[in-house]
Amino acid sequence: MSAPLVSAKGLGVTRGGHPVLRGVDIAIEAGEIVTIVGPNGSGKSTLLRLLIGAERASAGEVRRAPGLRIGYVPQRLAIDHTMPLTVARFLGLAGGGREEREHALQRVGIAGLGGRQMIDLSGGQLQRALLAHALLHRPQLLVLDEAAQGLDQPGVARFYRLIEELRTELGCGVLMVSHDLHVVMSASDRVICLNGHVCCEGTPTVVSAAPEYRALFGFGTEGALALYRHEHDHAHAEGAPGHHHHPADAEA
Amino acid sequence: MSPLDDFLLRAVLAGTGVALVAGPLGCFVVWRRMAYFGDATAHAALIGVTLALATELPVVAGVALAALAMALTVSLATGRTYAMDTMLGVAAHGALAAGLVALSLLPGVRVDLMGYLFGDILAVSRSDLLVIWAGGALILALLVWRWRGLLLATLSADLAAAAGIAAARERLVLTVALALLVAVALKVVGALLITAMLIVPAAAARAFAPTPEAMAVVAAGIGAVASAGGLAASFRLDSPAGPSIVVAAVVLLLLANGIAAVARRGGGRGAGRG
């Protein structure tokens, strides 16, 4: 197995004397979609920020593959109203020529909005512009922090389908944080359930059956998961690094 | 007789030099809401003047050092105990008062206090001009060199980090640029009005600019027009030059917003909002 794009061991963060994260081990490989789920305040966004280098850990260390290109889609972008910024100029900050920018806009489904001011975009359009920006970094690792927030239900489903397609097209790894449990469960290769530490981890099927996951989220997502389960029957025999709950454990 | 022997031409050149730099730098001050930070940095100038006079350092160097020390101290200390604006208010007014006291305690030195507070653009010498244009060019070069990183870090520290840009480093670049500008602009508009030259042209430019780059260029232009207009008014009305320049800039700001409002009502989608 190739070296992971990004990995961390024993990651911990303390804020104001309180541990936000402790003892987190994580590794993301090229081509896999890994989703972090967890209740509010469980340290999901903090973990992402550590992995992209926006924040320093108080314990443990993060290793990124040398020269790793990261495309990051933040939860939101608070643009000060005093800053004029067209979508095209925003994309230009990520690099790429005019044609590449237009292609990226088209790929995320907002072709023709290049001349629009960022602050005039709707929530969904802004998320797509952020995704286009991330794509222009030609990412080896795509990192999304609740990127589908503010989209309606069909919008959310379309958004995650797009992410899956991009993963296939670019061969990039995808790491995301999400609240959209049932959609995420269908679209991920691996799910990490976080609550200050890694509660459980594994394929969506395994995690959704794990008692730790059920303790946090209840049973509500099971039905939705069943709709998609067949899509994943073929994929995950080899498993992924980290400690997994085997179905047998989950039954116990 | 060289044209630079004309004090009015030197004044125009000095004002233009400062405006061309203050415009683009001022955009960042506006985008990042650093107006108070600018005040704190600029008000440290008097301490720098005292320092320079006491040690026979060039005034520009003393001011640059004091402004930089203040800016670094403030950016390290903010958010610890008090809210940001409280902290910056303390720093700005504390530095101003301390500077005034320190200047008065210097033995045997007669200083033109009004000149340091409000500028003395009509007394700009050839060597002052050299300092203004060389310093200005340095600041502009710094901004151009770091432009993309500065913009990304201003938009979002996380986006910048993901692109391999440390937001803290970009903030340091701005801090240094700001301290340099204070040193360069002291002679032209004085410690009390430097922040005005930063934020007024930038705010006026907002209404007409679709991109950050356009806003920076328009701000520089508006600043230059304001400085020429202010000087002309000062010459006619015999009013103090520095304040006249700032008044001219404010008039341009009001005009700009008026024009933008009319353009919006005319059915066009104005770039300006808020």
Q: What percent of chain A has pLDDT over 90?
A: 49
Residue B250: per-residue pLDDT: 97
pLDDT value of residue B257: 93
Q: Which residues of B touch A83 (CB under 8 A)?
A: 31, 154-155, 212, 215
Least confident of B48-57, B72-81, B130-139, B201-210: B72-81
Return the residue of A nearest to B150 by Cα. Answer: A93
Provide the ipTM: 0.87
CA nearest to B29 within chain A: A82
- pLDDT tens column, B126-182: 999 999 999 999 999 999 999 999 999 999 999 999 999 999 999 999 999 999 999
Q: Mean pLDDT over residues B90-109, rounded? A: 90
Neighbours of A213 (CB within 10 A): 28
pLDDT confidence of A219, banded at 50, 70, 90?
A: low
Q: How far is B26 from chain A (nearest CA, A)?
A: 12
Render pLDDT for B74-85 as a digit per residue (tens, 0 to 9): 888 765 677 788
Does the model's pTM come out above 0.90? no
Q: pLDDT digits over A145-203, tens only?
A: 988 877 788 888 888 889 999 999 999 999 999 877 777 777 789 999 898 999 888 88
Interface test with B, best of A83, A91, A133 (most B CBs within 10 A): A83
pLDDT, mean over chain B: 91
Q: Report whether pLDDT(A244) > 50.
A: no
Instruction: Give the gap in angstroms from C-alpha B129 to the nearest C-alpha of chain A.
Output: 32
Residue A43 reports pLDDT greater than 70:
yes
CB A136 within 8 A of CB A101: yes
Taking residues B198-226, report their average pLDDT: 96
| B110 — pLDDT class (breaks 50, 70, 90) | confident
Average pLDDT of A102-113?
92
| Distance from C-alpha of B190 to C-alpha of B42, rounded to nearest angstrom | 9
Residue A220: the pLDDT is 54
Q: Which long-range contacts (CB under 8 A, 24 or more apart) does A51-56 make?
A: A51/A6, A51/A8, A51/A26, A51/A143, A51/A175, A52/A143, A52/B158, A52/B161, A52/B162, A53/B161, A53/B162, A53/B164, A54/B157, A54/B158, A54/B161, A54/B162, A54/B167, A55/A13
- To the nearest whole angstrom, how far is the Cα of B197 from the nearest Cα of chain A? 17
Q: Assess B206–A contact: CB distance below 8 Å, yes or no.
A: yes
CB of B6 less than 8 A from some CB of A: no
Residue A99 to residues A95, A111, A132, A193, B260, Cα–Cα distance (Å):
11, 12, 13, 40, 32
Cβ contacts of A129 within 8 Å, gap of 6 or more: A87, A90, A91, A105, A108, A110, A113, A118, A121
- State what percent of residues in chain A have pLDDT above 70: 86
Q: What is the DSSP letter of B121?
A: G
Report the pLDDT value the prediction gives residue B236, as an integer from 0 to 100: 94
How many other CB atoms sit within 10 Å of the CB of residue B178? Answer: 26
Residue from B150, B155, B269 whose CB has the most chain A CBs within 10 Å, to mutate: B155
* Cβ(A51)–Cβ(A26) below 8 Å: yes
Is it the case that residue A12 has pLDDT exceeding 60? yes
